[in-house]
A = this chain, B = another copy of it.
Amino acid sequence: MSNTKVFILDGGSLVIDGFHVYWNKGPGGEVRFPVYSVLIDHADGLYLFDSGFDYDHVMAVLPFEKPQQTREQTLLGAIEKAGYRAEDINYVINSHYHFDHCGGNKHLKEACTVCHANEFGQCKCPQPFEVLGYSDMTFHPDMQREKLRREGKEIPVSPDSDIWTPKVELLTGNQEIAKGMHLIETPGHTAGHYSLLIELANRRPMLFTADACYTRKGFDEELIPSFHLDPVKAVQSVRRLKDVALKTNAEVFVSHDLEQFGQYKTAPAYYE
């Protein structure tokens, strides 16, 4: 049995305002930030944590975020660069369903979609201030069912649930989803947000905060981003992650910090 390998897949970049990076703190002004996914080659299967943004979606719905994404930075391009095929991915785990974390889900037709149960509910009935965040729901079973309905096609129904395809698995609580892979509840940014801790054979554990922490400074100073559902829970989640990092001696990988991202190894290089 080979060691678990972790690939960071560069997914291009977007622009937001400094007041969005550091809520009510700033400074303001355009900030370009990286978007990435994490591919985990584990003995139990091939996992993807988040799937980046879809360039066409951003250009159509949020062009002011000025997406930059080369062919190699698309999800399919990045998976290929890491030496894998999209159809071999068994599970796509989304930290949450904001468009820059699930934009590639639509390409993973064979994978089981895994997320927090609260997120699955919220993304279909967002608060008015969450509508743009949850704007790329094309992969969602309900949307696919609706599409079939519009096209006059038959809608398959599984015997034990009304969710048919893609396969969906909803989780609550902290979960060791595979040996050494721990999902940690970090709500606040959204209703059901998960961060991911991965234990590896030859190095410190890797703690992927996802959007519970955009930047290293946010992690250190407990500054949350402006996009959130519950800022009180968001601050608690930063503290939870700091506690996890301390107890496990994990290296912290924040989600949207250009300077930090420059220090990460990206695919085809990997951590193990």
Interface residues, chain A, with chain B CB atoms under 8 Å away: 17, 19-20, 23-24, 26, 28-29, 127-129, 132, 222, 224, 226-232, 235
Contacting A226 at CB < 8 Å: which of B128, B226, B230, B235? B226
A42 CB, min distance to chain B CBs, angstroms = 36
Contacting A28 at CB < 8 Å: which of B19, B222, B227? B19
Apart from the given pairs A228-B231, A229-B231, 11 other A-B contacts in the complex at a CB distance below 8 Å: A17-B19, A17-B28, A20-B24, A23-B226, A24-B132, A28-B28, A127-B231, A226-B226, A229-B232, A230-B230, A231-B231
Residues of B contacting A232 with CB < 8 Å? 127, 229-230
Q: Verify B28–A128 contact, CB threshold 8 A.
A: no
Residues of B contacting A28 with CB < 8 Å? 17, 19, 28-29
Interchain CA distance A230-B230 in the complex, whole Å: 6
Interchain CA distance A224-B128 in the complex, whole Å: 10
Residues of B contacting A19 with CB < 8 Å? 17, 19-20, 28, 226
Q: Verify A227–B24 contact, CB threshold 8 A.
A: yes
Interchain CA distance A80-B205 in the complex, whole Å: 66
Interchain CA distance A235-B230 in the complex, whole Å: 13
* Closest 7 A/B residue pairs (Cβ): A19-B19, A28-B28, A17-B28, A24-B226, A127-B232, A24-B129, A17-B19
A231 CB, min distance to chain B CBs, angstroms = 6
